[in-house]
Amino acid sequence: MADLSINFSGIRSPNPFWLASAPPTNSGAQIHRAFENGWGGAVWKTIGAPVLNVSNRYGAWRYGNEKMLAINNVELISDRPIEVNLREISEVKRAWPDRAVVVSAMVESKPVAWHDVIRRIQDTGADGIELNYGCPHGMSERGMGSAVGQVPEYCEQITRWVMEVAKIPVIVKLTPNISDIVMPARAAVAAGANALSLINTVNSIIGVDLETLEITPSIGGRGGHGGYAGPAVKPIALNMLAALGRDSIVRGSGLPISGMGGISTWRDAAEFLLLGASSLQICTAVMHYGFRVVEDLCDGLSNWMDEKGFATIPQVVGRSLHHVTDFKDFDLSFKAIARIDQDKCIRCDLCYVACNDSAHQCIDLFDKHGIASPPTAYDQSSNGKVEAISTRPTVVVREEDCVGCRLCFNVCPVENCIHMLPVPSGRPSVTWEELTQKQPEVAEDWKQMERYRQKMGIRIH
Amino acid sequence: MCFDAPCTHACPTHIDIPKFIKKISTGNLLGSARTILESNLLGATCARVCPVQELCEGACVLGSEHKPIAIGRLQRHAMDYLKGKKIAIFHPANSTGKKVAVVGAGPAGLSCAGELAKLGHSVTLYEKRELGGGLSTYGIIVLREPIEVALTEVAMIQRLGVRIEIGKEIGIDPTLADLQENFHAVFISIGLGHTRALKIPGEEYVQDGLEYIERSKLKPSQLHVGRNVVVIGAGNTAIDCATIARRLGAERVTMIYRRTENEMTAYPHEYDFVKREGVTFWFLVQPTRVHHENGEVKALECVRMTLGDPDSSGRPFPKPVPGATMLLPADQIVKAIGQNKTSLVSTLNLKTEAGFIHINSDFETSSPGIFAGGDCIRARGSASTVMAVQDGKLAARSIHQRLVNHG
């Protein structure tokens, strides 16, 4: 059995799964129940400046059968009095000494306000502090949240104020609503933060009601941008996580990163670990299905680690980072083609239409005599299941024309029916960087490029 | 959502099924219903009565590994959107000045009349009965299709400008010659005739299956259902009769068939359905006499059968086992052993094929300008509503071609 415990910049927890600072961590009673369910830690819903909330604060993006592919919220930080929160934090920590209790904070951008809140949090016995520089709605209008996270200088300044009084680990939480995630991370490093976490929610409007023409959800006829989270944001989070892992300053600082953004299953969790996260935070999956999701997060991750021969979480962290590169470092000689397993194919023809309309027109339909036939080639007077099934055309990739774009693979509804088969290209391995250093003219002149292509036997289809 | 889907091929009217399902998923129910009606004006009836297991759903690419998409129910959902809305889905084209007579307001006739009206032709539809809709109105049990569904379709065809003349039987008034004289083209869709005769003593005490169904729909208070009902036959109509009897209170319903379950003409899913209704089957028995006392049915005398060599239908021919007779107690006997070809066909003076009206690939009969479709031409293949709808549609195209090209 793999050891799932972590030591995240001195914050210990029996597994890497922490509840993110969000509605599930609004009260001590909730966090007690979460810990009873097996959560390794919890980041208390942000405490700080006084606020008032509104109704209809969560919107969701339904897509297909997925009721909450993403959730959008305009809920503010904790609206419970700060004294109540602080009392419950100390109670929870006393009751659960082995779990990570981290407190998220956000106050006005004044040194005294930050000094005060950090000291009060430390008095509870909490294990760490997370600085909320991320909320994109409401608080940002008051100069807090993403208003800080979007300006690296503010990040650095406030983190310095915090570090002046901090005695427990300080995590700086980054907003994704920025053009380069590396900049605020470097600012946090420069200010002496102990760790980073990302991503906070993405700015979004969930939709427009086609009956009332109001924004969804409608807050008394009005609506606006909120923070977007859930499965739909996972690819964005992974990219930002990898960007930090590949930055020499951030990586060189050795600061651990707590990863979040759409983690719903142990598979998602493993991907975040592989790209450099060493603790994991989760919110939307819990908001959808409850605290019980932690059981399979731990069980599935543990089984996968056993299967892969990973004994501890640190052995997994960052293991895939070296596979992440820029386009210029990809091998231009690598070639793959699509191959359809005719025994698995259900003849839905989705690959055909995708290839024909949107890709490179290299999938053909063949009738049972092996003759290429256009769609709907059947006789209009024929009908019935036997006729329809027995005359259904076969989809075949014209391999010499396949560029290996992988669109058919992505649209195929059958698992393992279309394979992307690596094939020898007959060309020596070369990257764009290497090529253009040796032959800069191919990047500047189409004639030179065509000459190069002819020489190398590269066909464009 | 398949491209060029096999369900669309399997559907005799080739409804663009992926298109109408996609429209349901986007909440465009009007567009979905229109997509269905563009290929099949009787989409509401077909959604309820089509043997989807043999057609669209049977061809679904998900069928082999999973359950097929519930195409029939989705079609019903889309069509139900139009219920009570009186939305004009189609508008007749500019008048062509051509007149077409359609005889018989069943599915083939309604389909043909509607398609011709859409193309701008002036259509008169003759129907000998009180209500239009044919078997959709009179012959499909309420459980499958309430009568309003069929009548709504008749009304939709009328809104397209089709005139319906009720109580007009071809051959009497008007005659075919009248129609030929007064119209540029004629389409005949007169269906089939009465249920075949059993030719056994006491047959007058046996109820006709189609009349049994009709009464259950139109005059349910006048339908007497026995406590111990025997249904003769094992086709889909026989199953409908057994279902009615069971659901209206019969304690025991027994279906008898002279061959075995391997030869029965009912669809496998209908057979499964009626068994779950609690109907029992006796195979390899043939009725020989109805026992009755004081005008009341007492029992059906049957003889045990055995299967012999294949007959002209390709199925083994059943032969009686000498002396193996039995008495099946019953207080009501219903026969549903297939319909005769309508005797009208012979009076129309058209070329026939095994008693059905002969047509060419354009649905034209031996008499130029007279077209035909539906059950009255179905010499081969199984007769069904959706096949009749397609006949009407294709015949309308041929008629249109003829009228437009030949001035």
Question: B6 in contact with A at a CB cutoff of 8 Å?
Answer: yes
Position of tokens 């096949």? B387
Between CA A127 and CA A116 the distance in angstroms is 17
Is residue A378's pLDDT more than 90? no
Predicted confidence (pLDDT) per residue in A429-461, tens digit: 999 999 999 999 999 999 999 999 999 999 887
Peptide bond into B174 cis (omega under 30): yes
Instruction: Quote the pTM value.
Output: 0.90
Question: A425 in contact with B at a CB cutoff of 8 Å?
Answer: no
* Cβ-Cβ contacts under 8 Å, B4 against chain A: 349, 352-353, 375-376
Of A352, A385, A392, the CB nearest to B54: A385
Q: What is the mean pLDDT of chain A?
A: 96
CA distance A70 to chain B (A): 19
Q: Which two tokens stand for residue B4?
A: 């060029």
> H helices within A182-293, ranges in order?
182-190, 234-246, 248-253, 266-274, 284-289
Question: How big is the A-B interface in CB pairs under 8 Å?
Answer: 65
* Cβ-Cβ contacts under 8 Å, A389 against chain B: 6, 10, 58-59
How remote is the C-alpha of A43 from its chain's centroid?
Answer: 19
Of A348, A382, A384, the CB nearest to B2: A348
Predicted confidence (pLDDT) per residue in A379-405, tens digit: 888 899 999 999 999 999 999 999 999
Burial (CB count within 10 angstroms: exposed 0-12, middle 13-18, buried 19+), residue B120 = middle
Nearest to A249 by CA among A196, A194, A324, A190: A190
Q: What is the mean pLDDT of chain B?
A: 93
Nearest to B146 by CA among B248, B45, B269, B270: B45
* Cβ-Cβ contacts under 8 Å, A347 against chain B: 6, 61
3-state SS class at A111: helix
pLDDT band with cut points at 50, 70 and 90 for residue B407: low
3-state SS class at A126: coil
Predicted confidence (pLDDT) per residue in B29-64, tens digit: 999 999 999 999 999 999 999 999 999 999 999 987
Answer for the pair A199, A135: CB distance below 8 angstroms, yes or no.
no
* Cβ-Cβ contacts under 8 Å, B8 against chain A: 376
What contacts B287, CB < 8 A, 6 or more positions away?
A: B198, B200, B232, B256, B300, B301, B302, B333
Position of tokens 């077209």? B371
The radius of gyration of chain A from alpha carbons, rounded to an integer in Å, stands at: 26
ipTM of this predicted structure: 0.87
B3·A388 Cβ contact <8 A: no
Domains of chain B: 6-80 (1.10.1060.10), 99-192+340-405 (3.50.50.60), 203-335 (3.50.50.60)
Question: A387 in contact with B at a CB cutoff of 8 Å?
Answer: yes
Between CA A28 and CA A453 the distance in angstroms is 65
3-state SS class at A150: coil
Give the class (CATH, top level) of A6-323: alpha beta
Report the amino acid identity of residue B50: C
Position of tokens 């991750």? A301
Strand B332-335 and strand B316-329: the pairing is unpaired
Predicted confidence (pLDDT) per residue in B139-195, tens digit: 999 999 999 999 999 999 999 999 999 999 888 888 999 999 999 999 999 999 888
Q: Which two tokens stand for residue A398?
A: 């014209």
Among A209, A342, A348, A387, pick the best mutation site for testing chain B contact (most B Cβ within 10 A): A348
Answer for the pair B24, B32: CB distance below 8 angstroms, yes or no.
yes
Active site residues of A: 135
Predicted confidence (pLDDT) per residue in A113-171, tens digit: 999 999 999 999 999 999 999 888 888 888 888 888 999 999 999 999 999 999 999 99
Give the mean pLDDT of A232-247. Answer: 98
pLDDT band with cut points at 50, 70 and 90 for residue B344: confident
Among A350, A353, A383, A407, pick the best mutation site for testing chain B contact (most B Cβ within 10 A): A383
* Cβ-Cβ contacts under 8 Å, B62 against chain A: 346
CATH for the stretch A327-427: 3.30.70.20
B10·A388 Cβ contact <8 A: yes
Extents of the domains making up chain A: 6-323, 327-427
Nearest to A373 by CA among A356, A392, A401, A348: A392
What contacts A62, CB < 8 A, 6 or more positions away?
A: A68, A69
Q: Which two tokens stand for residue B97?
A: 């000045």
Between CA B142 and CA B5 the distance in angstroms is 32
DSSP characters for B230-245?
EEE--SHHHHHHHHHH
Nearest to B152 by CA among B126, B122, B114: B114
CA distance B11 to chain A (A): 6
The beta-carbon contacts of B300-303 under 8 Å, at least 24 apart in sequence, are: B300/B230, B300/B232, B300/B256, B300/B327, B300/B328, B300/B330, B300/B333, B301/B325, B301/B326, B301/B327, B301/B328, B302/B256, B302/B326, B302/B327, B302/B328
Neighbours of B212 (CB within 10 A): 25
Helix (H), strand (E) at residue A297: helix A294-308
